Amino acid sequence: MFRRQDGDADLTLARERMVAAHLVGRGITDRRVVEAMRQIPRHEFVPAGLRARAYDDGPLPIGGGQTISQPYIVALMTELLELTGGERVLEVGAGCGYQTAILSALAGEVCAVELDPALCETARGHLARIGAANVDLRCASGFEPWPGGGTFDAILSACAPGAVPPVLVEQLRPGGRLVIPIGPAGQVQQLHRYRMGEGGLVSDEDEGGVRFVPMRDPPPLS
């Protein structure tokens, strides 16, 4: 499905070590998630000068004041979605497209939004280069409904609002999962998983402290 772009045995070895030490070694158990992280080249999603650090278990700057999340957090958030292969997934805050690529390997369709136009175009290039054909990426805010409409089996937010945005709740199908960091900008936020029950969101699970950029409103109309 994907075109791997390794071209460097050291990077391949570094990715295998990342998977063993920072994912499996820290408790990631979903085999499909582990395999996606093994197959998709993270170094293709970071600036060229940082490729040697692509498989360190930490965030890296990608421009626009944003970062690519550390591999463990990418794997953890993906695992919490409980994807089986045919889902329609919404991602908020696509950044450079790495998390998007992981989701595309595990779901039937990925709809992703990124508010920063430059990052959005960068992500499109990365995703096209590795052959992620089931992704629809738009330049938009998570505070807006998905431009194409419809609802989702799972939603992942890689940016943090102060509270769960009602628009995300409205787009989540019954039984769907929402994984999202909640909290103030510049401080430790809490990663939550919610499920959509008959009467609304239920089963709020606190998955620990994280740091993400804030979820931002769309720019005002000129």
Instruction: Please give the positions annotated as active site.
Output: 69
CA distance to 12, 34, 117, 200, per residue, from 78 (Å): 22, 10, 25, 22
For 207, the token pair is: 């998955």
DSSP assignment of 49-116, as one string? Answer: GGGGGTTSSS-EEEETTEEEPPHHHHHHHHHHH---SS-EEEEE--TTSHHHHHHHHHSSEEEEE-S-
Contact 156, 103 (CB under 8 A): yes
| Cβ neighbours around 214 below 10 Å, total | 16
CA 193, CA 196: separation in Å to the nearest integer? Answer: 10
DSSP 221: P
Q: Can you read off the two tokens belonging to residue 33?
A: 């998630």
Integer Cα distance of 184 and 161 in angstroms: 7
Q: What is the dihedral sign for C-alpha 12, 14, 19, 25? A: positive
Measured CA angle at 75 (ends 70, 78), to 5 deg: 125
